[in-house]
Amino acid sequence: GIQVEQSPPDLILQEGANSTLRCNFSDSVNNLQWFHQNPWGQLINLFYIPSGTKQNGRLSATTVATERYSLLYISSSQTTDSGVYFCAVRAGKIIFGKGTRLHILP
């Protein structure tokens, strides 16, 4: 089956810093999503991005489907950005990566 790998697994940054999270997938996929899981466990939809680039405020994402990767950019990090960021692809069923745990220090 399709493998989804996220990097880095953990990231600790000072408030105000920028970060780039990566998602590699092993085969062609129908679509790709980025989620943020907050400390209460809720999954928040960030981007549905099977290809191309999207931006939403301080967050943006780029997916290069032909090269099988996606990037999530977070600029000017805030403490509320802390949590786990998941990439998920759909090839039949949805497959999640293991996530990047982001901790923003005040």
Binds other proteins by CB under 8 A, chosen from 41, 57, 66, 67:
41
Q: Does 34 bind other proteins (CB under 8 A)?
A: no
- Residues in CB range of 46: below 8 A, 6 or more apart: 33, 34, 35, 36, 56, 59, 61, 72, 85
Number of separate helices (H) and strands (E) present in the chain? 0, 11
Binds other proteins by CB under 8 A, chosen from 13, 17, 43, 59:
43
* Residue the block writes with tokens 């000017």: 76
Q: Which stretch binds other proteins (CB under 8 A): 16-24, 42-50, 56-64, 75-83?
A: 42-50
- Contacts with other proteins, residue ranges (CB under 8 A): 30-31, 33, 35, 40-43, 45, 48, 86, 88, 90, 93-94, 96-99
